[in-house]
Structure formats: structure tokens, C-alpha cells
Chains A and B, each alone.
Chain A
Amino acid sequence: MTVVHDNLEKTEAKMSAKAVSVFYGDKKAIDEVSIDIPTQYVTAFIGPSGCGKSTFLRTLNRMNDTIPSARVEGEIELDGRDIYRSGMDVVQLRARVGMVFQKPNPFPKSIYENIAYGPKIHGLAEGKDELDAIVEKSLRRAGLWEEVKDRLQDSGTALSGGQQQRLCIARAIAVDPEVILMDEPCSALDPIATAKIEELIAELNGRYAIVIVTHSMQQAARVSQRTAFFHLGKMVEYGRTSDIFTNPHEQRTQDYITGRYG
């Protein structure tokens, strides 16, 4: 049973999941999760390893489609339309719902080409000048422009881990998405790089709906306004981040955030 706090103000839901279950073969990884992702907030998914939070995140832009045995039941709506309906163009969906992964995964191309990749495949820029402008804007938004503006032709893989992750965020921003999904974006980074990513998330907040999966409860407390706690494939509790951490309604949430398990 999911406890959804009742003090949440009515906001416009960018995405909304309705009784979503995910199966890997016969194994049920997600059990009837329903949640509204608000437009103007950062939503954090927390929970112990294997609780299904990453799996659920990946259903939001249908990245689970790449796993042959995965099957999704229920409905996930983006602006009120089901993204699993037949005839839904996954390419369009992923342009609108971008994703940043656990390990920075820049392409083995130049920094410029990494950012230009998305705009090129979606035909967002008409000429070189327009593309240059998108690259610069994206890098500026990701707070990377000053560090790399003199070496845009260097390989993206030559950057440090933290810079690579910001490059991946810039790459996601470049196609002008509405939602950005982040799957433990700081788990491979040191504390300083982590702090920069968290700052960046705060800056991007409001412009994009952001969903972040994290292992670190402190990180969830720092960057998010909404928190959902997952356990054993179920969403246990969902509410304001401040409430979840100070006044959880569920015993399991209480146990997890106080470090009894996980």
C-alpha cells in the first residue's frame, strides 16, 4: 500500500504513472506504482539497492524497451497521453524525456560532437551557426562552457569524471527536453564533482521537470522537493522531501532514512 501525503498542493503533473508494473520475464520488478511527477520540482526516488527505483525511472522514457525480456503494464502519461500506446514514437518521446546515466558515458567523439549529436539527429539546427549556438547554450546551462570553450574539438572522454557527467547533462539539454531523468548521476563521482552536479540540478530546476534516482539520502534531501521511497518493487511513501525526512508516515520509510537497513 502506498502512502501519498495529503498536504501536497495541486500542481500540474508533467508525467503521471498509473498502476505501473514491470516484469523481467516472470519476475515482477515493479508492483503497481502510481505517481505524479510535477513540472516545477525535482523529484527524488530513494530506496535500497534492488528496490526497483532505476527500473521505474527507465520506464519513463521507455529505455526498458532495449531489454528484450522486460514488459510494462499500466499507463504512463506525458502531458496526459500514454507513452506506451501503440503508435507512440519512441524517438520523439526520448527527445522530450532525456536521460543521464549512472556512469558518465560521453561518446568517443569531440566535446562539440557530443553536444551536437542530439540536435543533428533531430534536425534542430538549420546551419552551422545555429548548431554552434545550441552547443554553446547547452554547455553554458550545464556550467561547462568556461572550462571547455577553448578545446571543443578535444575528445569528450578526455575530460574528468565530473566534467564528463556535466557533458552528458549538456548533451541531454541540447535537444531541449521537458523532463530529465537522472539515474544516480553522482555515484561514480567524488564529493567536489558531486557538489557541482547538485548545484547544476538546482539551477536547472524549474526549467525542466527533473527526476533523480539516488542512493544518498543526503543528496535527496539537498536537491529535491519531492521524494518517493521505494522498497521491494513497491512505492512505499511519496510526499514533500522535508516531510519524508522529518515526519515519515510509514515505519519502513522511518527505518530506511534512519539507517536501519539499505
Chain B
Amino acid sequence: MSPAILLLLALGLGLAGWLAARARAWTFRRSSADGRIASLPNYHAWYVALWVVLPVLAFVALWSAIAPGLVSQSVLASPAAAELPSFGFQRQTILNEARAVATGAAPGVFNPQAAGLVEPFRAALSHYNLIGVVVTLLIAFLGGVWAFLRLKPDFAARSKVERIVMAILLGASLVAILTTLGILASLIFETIRFFGMVSPIDFLFGTHWGPDPMANAANPDSSRYGAVPLFWGTLFIGAIIAMIVAIPLGLMSAIYLTQYADPALRKWIKPALEILAGVPTVVYGYFAALTIAPAIRNIAISLGATNPSSESALAAGLVMGVMIIPFVSSMADDSIAAVPQSMRDGSLAMGATTNETIRRVLVPAALPGIVAGIMLAVSRAIGETMIVVMAASTAANLTANPLESMTTVTVQIVAMLTGEGSFDHPATLSAFALGFVLFMVTLGLNFIALRVVKRYREAYD
């Protein structure tokens, strides 16, 4: 029986508990002298329902994690499993096939060895399914009865329910934090392995990047793992070129939309601008590679450049800048619109023009929000991959010439992970070290953005 059916069962039991508890609370209410009980009947009902459903949910989560293991264990203990090949890959294939047939996912066996295992699999599955259902019912029943017996006219069901709801909300917010920590932990683990093979000094300060996935893994050439060209490429494309495009355009469009645009026009332009944020980056990549990069190359040639690259940092940066305009403009728009009308009136009543009001009052007052939007845009830009892959190539050049091809940290992460090296080769592991650096930088940027917002938040009133 699948977890989904167990869940449905639990919800059904929860509903039963809900109804029973509500009926019971109503009898309290009727029989009490003044028609009052400590909590409304619905809270009694929710209290019991939550005590039925939550323990079951916990059990189902646990059970669906351990049940498959228990099933295979009992199958392996069967006499038919004794003839299985010992090599992991083959063995696993046969087991998977037998399982597929036993659950009805596949029509018949391909491997004759699997045929003998189908029966044990079937037996084990039904055995453990039965256990699962029985335990689920038992837990639901026990939870429900325990909660139900606690109901009394003066039972504080409301505060209990509120506490449970608060715990659920807390759990929801912890998921995101724990996931971040998990990501960080996995990155750190692999990064440490990488730094066991390549010195961090060479990695962080070396200027030549050219890992060879086919080289001897035991004795890597540290001088080929200098990531400075990647850091520079990331910074140059994502934080310099893209921002030169995105900051003025985003800010100006926000100012136009909040201060000058006719409301009818704003109703059209703002969503249109926000659609930009929804365009898949790979589409921007096409645009950069097929339209912008050749155009830049042609312009460079017409200006007399000799042999410019067909893939350039400029093309990637420009398109990336356009991509993040919505991030800058929508944050700036929101924070300018949030400046109270009284500030604007105060300035206009002094005889300031709209332009002076914007430059001297509104933008300074909205600055924290604007800066936060820019920081967000930067961390988005330096994490961007597809545009750079398609328009700026994978050649790690350390140059300030925007017409040269360049590469970024994210592009090299993809290149290294999908490369030909085995998983424990330093070339592959370098992807984790790069990811770790990127993670720390974006984390730092977000942290700074939050601090800036807090520090310079202007109290308008």
C-alpha cells in the first residue's frame, strides 16, 4: 500500500476525530450551567483531529523511508536470493526488475534470475504493507483516543491548538534554513576533499585555469587550478558590465513608472517589464549568442579591432544586464512608491520641480530599497549560467577587454561536473570549491544588503 493511501486513511480518521470531538464539546456546552465552555467546540475538534493526523504523518514519513529497506532485506534472506551475483550493479538490476514485476509496474521478467525473486518480493511487500496499515491505524486511534479523553468543559483546547499551529509554522520556516545548512554542509565536505589535493592558495590566487580531467588524479598539477580568471570573469560580466546596464535603466524606468507615467500606461508597462524576469535564461542565451555577440563583433571590426572574438564578455554582460532590469526596477519602484505622499507634497510645496523632488527627496528616502534591489540583482547575475555559457564561452581569459571571450564560476562548475573526469578527480571536485566560493559571495552580498537596508532605513514619520 502506498504512502498516499495511508495519508488518505489518516485524513479520514482525522475527520472522524474532528466530528466526534465537536459533538462531545457541544454536549459539554449544552450541559454547562451558563452555556459556556473554556474553548469553542471547533477548537476541541481541531485538537483531536491534529492529534490523529500529525503522529500518523510522522509515522508515514518514517515508514516510507525504512519500509523499502525492510522489504529488500527480507527478500535477500529468501533462498532464491542466494544465487544472485555478488557484484553490486548486476545484483541491483535483478532486484529492481523483480520488484517492478511484483508491484505490477512491469509486465514480465527479462532476466531469468529475477523470476525466482518475484514471489518473495510479493510476499514481503504485502507483509510490510499490512504492518504499515495496522501501525498507522493504531497510532491514529491511540492519538485520537488520548486527545479525546482529555476533553473537558474547562479544557484549554484553543491555546493548545494555537501552540500546535505555531509549531507547524516554525517547522515550515525551519525547512528552508535546514536546507541551506544541508547545502552548505555538502559543499564544505567536497570542498575539503578538493583542498586536500590542491592547495587553497593556488586555487584562490592562481591566475591559470585549465584543469585536465584526464590527468593523474593522485598528483594533480596545482598550477592549473588558479581560479582568479573565473572570479574576474564573474565579477566583470555579472557585477560590472551587467550592472552598468541594469542600474541606470532599472532606476530610470522605476522613476518614470512611479512619478511620470499615466496610471493607464503604468498598468501596461509594469507587468510587461516583469515578464522579462520570467523569460528563461536560456532564451536570453540564444539572444546573446545569435544576435548581440555577432553584432558586437561586427561593430568591433568596423571600429578597426583586429580579429575580435565571436564570443565576448560584453555580449553576455549586456544581455545579463537586460535580464536583471526587472529586479532593480521592481524593488526601486516599490520603495519609491512607498515613500509617503506627504514627502512629495512637502517638497513640491517648497516650489521644487518634480525632477528636484525625485532627485533630492524620493530617491534618497527610497535608497535602502534601491540598494537592496541592486544587491539582489548582483547576486542573481553572478549566479547566472546559461547566458555566459552561450555567449561568453568557456575560455578562462584574465583580461579587462570586454571584447575577449571570458568564463565565469558557474560555467566552469557545469563544465567540470559534466566533464570526463571521475567523481573523485580533483577537476570534478573543483566544481564544489567553486560553488562554495560562489555561495559565500552571494551570502555575503545578501547579508550586506540586509545590513544596508537596516542601517539606512529612513523613518518617514
Contact = CB atoms under 8 A, between A and B. Distances in A.
Tell me whether A and B are bound partners.
Answer: yes
Interface of A: 61, 63, 66, 68, 90-95, 98-99, 101, 103, 105-109, 117-118, 121-122, 155, 157, 168, 171-172, 175
Given A108-B458, A157-B460, A168 B346 contact: yes
A172 B348 CA distance: 11
Contacts of B349: 61, 63, 94, 98-99, 101, 172
B461 A103 contact: yes
Contacts of A68: 263
B351 A93 contact: yes
B348 A63 contact: yes
Main SS at interface, chain B = helix
Contacts of B353: 91, 121
Contact of B351 (A66, A92, A109): A92
Given A117-B360, A121-B356, A157-B461, A105 B340 contact: yes
Of the candidates B346, B348, B364, the one having the most CB atoms from chain A within 10 angstroms of its own CB is: B346
A122 B353 CA distance: 10
Contacts of B352: 91, 117-118, 121
B345 A157 contact: no
Given A107-B365, A108-B459, A108-B460, A101 B350 contact: no
B333 to A, nearest CB: 19
A106 B340 CA distance: 11
Contacts of A121: 350-353, 356, 360
Contacts, number: 76
B346 A118 contact: no
A91 B365 contact: no
Contacts of A66: 344-345, 348
6 contacts: A94-B349, A106-B346, A107-B343, A107-B361, A117-B352, A155-B458
B17 to A, nearest CB: 53
B345 A63 contact: yes
B346 to A, nearest CB: 4
A157 B458 contact: yes
Interface residues of B, number: 23
Interface in B327-386: 340, 342-353, 356, 360-361, 364-365
Contacts of B356: 121
Contacts of A109: 364
A101 B351 contact: no
Contacts of B458: 108, 155, 157
B348 to A, nearest CB: 6
A171 B343 CA distance: 13
Contact of A101 (B342, B364, B460): B342
Nearest to B354: A66
A162 B353 CA distance: 28
B374 to A, nearest CB: 20
A118 B361 CA distance: 12
10 closest A-B pairs by beta carbon, nearest first, are A108-B458, A94-B351, A95-B351, A105-B342, A99-B349, A105-B346, A118-B350, A91-B351, A121-B352, A157-B459
Contacts of B351: 90-95, 118, 121-122, 175
B362 to A, nearest CB: 10
Interface in B405-461: 458-461
B370 to A, nearest CB: 14
A225 B347 CA distance: 29
Contacts of A117: 347, 350, 352, 360-361
A91 B353 CA distance: 7
Contacts of B347: 107, 117
A108 B345 contact: no
A175 B349 CA distance: 11
A105 B360 contact: no
Given A94-B349, A117-B352, A118-B350, 6 more contacts: A66-B345, A92-B351, A103-B342, A108-B459, A121-B353, A155-B458
Contact of B345 (A95, A101, A122): A101
Contacts of B365: 107-108
